[in-house]
C-alpha cells in the first residue's frame, strides 16, 4: 500500500486519518492508491496502537426465555436512541442482550472493547442486576432502570412527568384520581411518580390514595389485575394515573370489560410514550420522555462527559391522545 503510493507507511496513516500536516497532493495520491487496492485501515490494529476504542457497549437486560417481541418497546427506544447518540458522538455501539447467567458480561471496558458502558432493560431480572451491581456506580457506566438505589442513574424527569399527568387529569375536572403502579423499593422511578402524584393532589387540596398494584409476570397483566382490584375496592375514582404505558394497556382493557367508559367515566394517563398507545382503545394519553435526549445523556454519562449528576433527568412532555377528555372550560 505504502509503496504503491510511493510514500511511507506513516504517511498513509496520516493522510487517511486527516492529519492536517499532509499535503493535499500527497493525500490525493494516497487516496488513489487506497482506492485502487481496496485498502482500508484495520480498525483492530489502529485501536490497539492508539489505545482508544471509540466504542460504547450497550447492555440490554432481558428476562430469561423471552423472545424479541416480548421486550418492552420502551427499552428498544432507549437502545435506538443510545446507538444514535453514540454515532453522533463518533462512537460505535456494541450491543449485548443479556438474560441468562451464562451470557452475563460486564467487562467490556477491561477487555478494551469499549470506552464506556450503558445498561438498560427490565428491572425484573435479579440475577442480571446483581451481577452488574458492582459497576453501576462507576464513572464510565450509565444506567437506566436499575433496581438499586446506591448509584446515580439516568431517568425521566419523573417528578415533572407525574405533575403534568395529574394536572392534566385535574384540568378535565377529575378529582378522585387513583395511582396504579408498583412502588416497591426496587422501582425507584415509579416511587418518584407516586410521590409527585401525592404532592400535586395535596397542593390542590385533594386526597391522594395509596398506590394500587397487583403482581403478575407481565406489565399488561399487572394492569388488568390492578384495575380489577381498584374496582373491587369500591373506592370511588374518576381518573387514573398509571405508572407506565404497558400497565395502562391492561388497565384500559379491564375498564372496558367492566363497562367503564374511557375517557367518559374515567380519564387515564400513562407514562413512557409508547408508540403502540396510538392504536390502543382508546388511544392512550401519556407522558413521554425525550428519547433523543435520553440517548445523549446515557452516552455522555458513559463516556464521562456529563457535568453534574442532577442533569441526568430527561425532560418529558404530554402526548395528548384520547384517554382523557378535553379540559373543562374556566
Partner DNA sequence: CTGAAAGCGCTAACAC
Partner DNA sequence: GTGTTAGCGCTTTCAG
Kindly state the number of chain residues that form the binding site for DNA, as judged by CB under 7 A. 27
User: Is the distance from CB of 219 to CB of 277 less than 8 angstroms?
Assistant: no
Nearer to DNA (CB atom), residue 6 or residue 101: 6
- Encode burial over 145-181: b for 16+ CB neighbours within 10 A, e otherwise: bbbbeeebbbbbbbbbbbbbbbebbbebebebbbbbb
Residues in a beta bridge with 61: 98, 121
Using rule CB under 7 A, residue 11 touches DNA: yes
Residue 199 half-sphere exposure toward CB, CA atoms < 13 A: 14
Using rule CB under 7 A, residue 174 touches DNA: no
Residue from 281, 304, 305, 328 in contact with a second copy (CB under 8 A): 281
Strands 239-242 and 267-271, bridge-based pairing: parallel
Using rule CB under 8 A, residue 173 touches a second copy: no
Residue 149 phi/psi, 5-degree rounding, is -115, 0
Q: Would you state the cell numbers that stand for residue 36, as one nine-digit string? A: 485502487
Q: How far is the CB of 170 from a second copy (least distance, A)?
A: 26
Residue from 3, 21, 25, 40 in contact with a second copy (CB under 8 A): 40
Using rule CB under 7 A, residue 1 touches DNA: yes
Angle in degrees, CA 191, 230, 149, rounded to 5: 15
Q: Would you state the cell numbers that stand for residue 147, as one nine-digit string? A: 433496581
Using rule CB under 7 A, residue 233 touches DNA: no
Q: Which residues, 6 or more positions from 317, have their beta carbon under 8 angstroms from its beta carbon?
A: 164, 287, 288, 290
Using rule CB under 7 A, residue 42 touches DNA: yes
Determine the interface stretch with a second copy among 10-18, 163-171, 279-287, 303-311 (rule: CB under 8 A).
Answer: 279-287
Strands 285-289 and 316-319, bridge-based pairing: antiparallel
Residues 283 and 162: their CA atoms lie apart, in Å, by 19
Residues 286 and 193: their CA atoms lie apart, in Å, by 13
Determine the interface stretch with DNA among 1-9, 74-82, 182-190, 286-294 (rule: CB under 7 A).
Answer: 1-9
Determine the interface stretch with DNA among 14-22, 57-65, 164-172, 268-276 (rule: CB under 7 A).
Answer: 14-22
Residues 247 and 243: their CA atoms lie apart, in Å, by 7
Determine the interface stretch with a second copy among 208-216, 230-238, 259-267, 289-297 (rule: CB under 8 A).
Answer: 289-297
Residue from 3, 25, 259, 279 in contact with DNA (CB under 7 A): 25
Q: Would you state the cell numbers that stand for residue 152, as one nine-digit string? A: 446515580
Using rule CB under 8 A, residue 130 touches a second copy: no
Q: Would you state the cell numbers that stand for residue 293, as one nine-digit string? A: 435526549
Residues in a beta bridge with 268: 240
Nearer to a second copy (CB atom), residue 152 or residue 253: 253
Residue from 4, 31, 37, 49 in contact with DNA (CB under 7 A): 49
Q: Give which of 242, 120, 116, 91 is closest to 181, Cα–Cα.
A: 242
Using rule CB under 7 A, residue 40 touches DNA: yes
Using rule CB under 8 A, residue 217 touches a second copy: no
Nearer to DNA (CB atom), residue 34 or residue 246: 34
Determine the interface stretch with a second copy among 18-26, 195-203, 235-243, 278-286 (rule: CB under 8 A).
Answer: 278-286
Enumerate binding residues for DNA (CB under 7 A).
1, 6-14, 16-17, 21-23, 25-26, 39-42, 45-46, 48-51
Enumerate binding residues for a second copy (CB under 8 A).
38, 40-45, 47-48, 53, 55, 60, 67-71, 73, 76-81, 83-84, 87, 92-97, 103, 107, 110-113, 220, 249, 252-253, 273-276, 278-282, 288, 291-292, 295
Amino acid at each position: 500500500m505504502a509503496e504503491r503510493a510511493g510514500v511511507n507507511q506513516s504517511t498513509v496513516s496520516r493522510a487517511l486519518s486527516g492529519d492536517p500536516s499532509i499535503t493535499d497532493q500527497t493525500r490525493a495520491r494516497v487516496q488513489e492508491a487506497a482506492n485502487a487496492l481496496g485498502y482500508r485501515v484495520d480498525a483492530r490494529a489502529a485501536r490497539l496502537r492508539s489505545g482508544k476504542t471509540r466504542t460504547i457497549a450497550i447492555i440490554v437486560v432481558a428476562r430469561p426465555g423471552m423472545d424479541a417481541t416480548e421486550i418492552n418497546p420502551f427499552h428498544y427506544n432507549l437502545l435506538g436512541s443510545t446507538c444514535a447518540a453514540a454515532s453522533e458522538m463518533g462512537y460505535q455501539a456494541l450491543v449485548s442482550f443479556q438474560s441468562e447467567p451464562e451470557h452475563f458480561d460486564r467487562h467490556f471496558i477491561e477487555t478494551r472493547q469499549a470506552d464506556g458502558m450503558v445498561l438498560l432493560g427490565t428491572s425484573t431480572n435479579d440475577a442480571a442486576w446483581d451481577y452488574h451491581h458492582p459497576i453501576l456506580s462507576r464513572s464510565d457506566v450509565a444506567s437506566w432502570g436499575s433496581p438499586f438505589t446506591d448509584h446515580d442513574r439516568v431517568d425521566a424527569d419523573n417528578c415533572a412527568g407525574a405533575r403534568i399527568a395529574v394536572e392534566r387529569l385535574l384540568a378535565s375536572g377529575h378529582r378522585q384520581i387513583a395511582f396504579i403502579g408498583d412502588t416497591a423499593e426496587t422501582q425507584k422511578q415509579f416511587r418518584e411518580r407516586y410521590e409527585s402524584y401525592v404532592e400535586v393532589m395535596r397542593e390542590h387540596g385533594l386526597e391522594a390514595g395509596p398506590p394500587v398494584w397487583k403482581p403478575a409476570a407481565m406489565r399488561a397483566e399487572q394492569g388488568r389485575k390492578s384495575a380489577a382490584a381498584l374496582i373491587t375496592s369500591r373506592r370511588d375514582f374518576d381518573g387514573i394515573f398509571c405508572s407506565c404505558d404497558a400497565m395502562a394497556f391492561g388497565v384500559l382493557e379491564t375498564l372496558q370489560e367492566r363497562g367503564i367508559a374511557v375517557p367518559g367515566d374515567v380519564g387515564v394517563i400513562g407514562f413512557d410514550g409508547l408508540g403502540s398507545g396510538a392504536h390502543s382503545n382508546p388511544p392512550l394519553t401519556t407522558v413521554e420522555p425525550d428519547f433523543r435526549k435520553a440517548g445523549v445523556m446515557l452516552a455522555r454519562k458513559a463516556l464521562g462527559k456529563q457535568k453534574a449528576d442532577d442533569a441526568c433527568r430527561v425532560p418529558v412532555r404530554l402526548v395528548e391522545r384520547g384517554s382523557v377528555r378535553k379540559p373543562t372550560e374556566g
